Amino acid sequence: ERVNGALCEVNRVLKPGGLLRIRVPDNARFWQNYLLDYQSIRQQPREGWSLAHTRWIKMYFDEVCVRRPRPWQSMTHYHKWMYDEISLTVLVERVGFRNVERMGFRQSAIPGIDEVEARDDLIIEAIRP
């Protein structure tokens, strides 16, 4: 995997005791939002049904699950994979990091994180042994 290779390289170059912080879109939250919208519409009388919940599916295929014909065309905000807390934690641990913890928005062992972090997503921190 490309991401696994990148994490292996980070593990290689980060000094022992160094802190890794990763922020990625939260796959579980993404689909929970879809389900909340779906369930809300489903509970309405049938004449009140709409396709509002399908915006999540459109977003997934238009912005997340995108394959470009040439590599340089995908260097925008498009994602090639989505992680949830379990899948990202397992991957980070498999490449050798320890003490993997999910962190809150602007919560970190890194001083000044609140000055640079602009978005709340799936955030983890881990230590290189």
State the distance between the two ends of the chain, measured CA to CA, in whole angstroms.
22
| Contact of 77 with 68, CB cutoff 8 Å | no
Q: The whole model's pTM is what?
A: 0.76
| pLDDT, one tens digit for every residue, the chain (129 residues) | 456 788 899 999 999 999 999 998 888 888 898 999 999 999 999 999 999 898 888 887 777 666 555 555 545 556 667 889 999 999 999 999 999 999 999 999 899 998 998 888 899 999 999
Neighbours of 77 (CB within 10 A): 8
